[in-house]
Structure 1
């Protein structure tokens, strides 16, 4: 068990170190030697976990999956909104996600089949919007795939502009403004007024996540005691 835990920690160190390098230097500007120095691991340890630099980049890109807890909103359209707020908050602080963005948008030799739509959970957006359409949340004539593509493209552009102009400090505000502008062309009037697109929505989401984590820890402790 101790060996397994050590392996998990080593893998995490490599991913974190690689993310710092990819974020700061890009894919082409980063070598495995750079990653080794930042992670302070041996070359053997690195290749035990990752056969190539591309495999490390894949792990960085896939990190976004861990950032999306199950949505709690009852409205599918609100869930789409919440995903963008969660990602916006994470982009302000999470080095691995910041690196994933750079890997996704830069033209480099890194080609693993992952695209910007994959990075911004295109499939999840599409599925939720399809559910929203079936529940009567979307205006007649709204195309699910086109709308998912629009959300992905808009969010990608918003975060890039925010990064360049304010180091992503205004991400939440920019996402809020996007939804205020876009929703009248997507949501039915009866739902429109009930959707929460304020920048403070993310605070509510974080409180919910913290409460859920607290319940989960209490449950784990109960299992141990029992």
Structure 2
């Protein structure tokens, strides 16, 4: 029974992600989520007390829906992570819905910077490793750079969503790195980095 409950909860999250991704929070109907998940109203409300709670859970599940690329911690793994995320945002409905709901928070009626802080922590860990390996310029502040990178990424992916439905997102993130590397990494380190969406995807398997 416990395993069945876990599977049902995941079905609900995936169905909700599809609906939230397609039309946003306000247009989403609980009845549509139930239909796609193939469950009853009682089953849905057993796991989630309200549409708002369901949306918040989807938003906070975005990090769990992505497996980070392999490789030693440091600047290259950070680059590969952001490029993999760009690919995932093209196909991963749970990630896309979580990102959309995070952007729509004020309109929805809750305020939670947890998803942004979670990605900032992921980026910070790689930047900390990069600093210890001498891959960052002197004076680069890891904490501030991690937060800045989350902000830049959020803006770039949103622009890409509006302009091309994210078809060009991997290339836009590659552009971001081509220019950012000039400011944060010594020239010899920047020259060693591979900024290639296809290579990052292949490395992730």
Counterpart position of 1:163: 161
Distance 2:73 2:21 in 1: 35
1:159/1:151 CA distance change after superposition, 3 Å:
same
- Retained in 1: the 8 A contact 2:77–2:126? yes
1:154 aligns with 2:181: no
With normalisation by structure 2, the TM-score equals 0.89
Match in the other structure for 1:97: 95
- After superposition, residues 1-226 of structure 1 pair within 5 angstroms as 3-106=1-104, 107-111=106-110, 113-115=112-114, 117-118=116-117, 121-207=119-205
Note if contact 2:69-2:203 (Cα within 8 Å) is conserved in structure 1.
no
Residues 104 and 158 of structure 1: CA distance in aligned 2, closer, same or farther (over 3 Å): same
Secondary structure class of the residue paired with 2:70: coil
Q: 1:116 to 1:153 in 2, by over 3 A?
A: farther
Could you tell me how far 1:132 is from its partner in structure 2? 1.6
**Higher-RCO chain (CA-CA 8 Å, sequence separation at least 6):** 2
Show structure 2 runs of 5+ residues with no match. none
Distance 1:68 1:94 in 2: 8
RMSD across aligned C-alpha pairs, in angstroms?
A: 2.0
Q: CA deviation at 1:115?
A: 4.6
Equivalent pairs counted in the alignment come to 204
Structure 1: tracts of 5 or more residues without a match: 208-226
Aligned equivalents of 1:18 and 1:133: distance in 2?
40
SS at match of 2:144: helix
Q: TM-score, normalised by structure 1?
A: 0.81
Between the aligned partners of 1:163 and 1:109, the Cα distance in structure 2 is: 20
In structure 1, C-alpha distance between the alignment counterparts of 2:8 and 2:65, rounded to whole Å: 20
Q: Deviations over 1:50-89 (max 9, x none)?
A: 2222321233123322344354232511121111112111
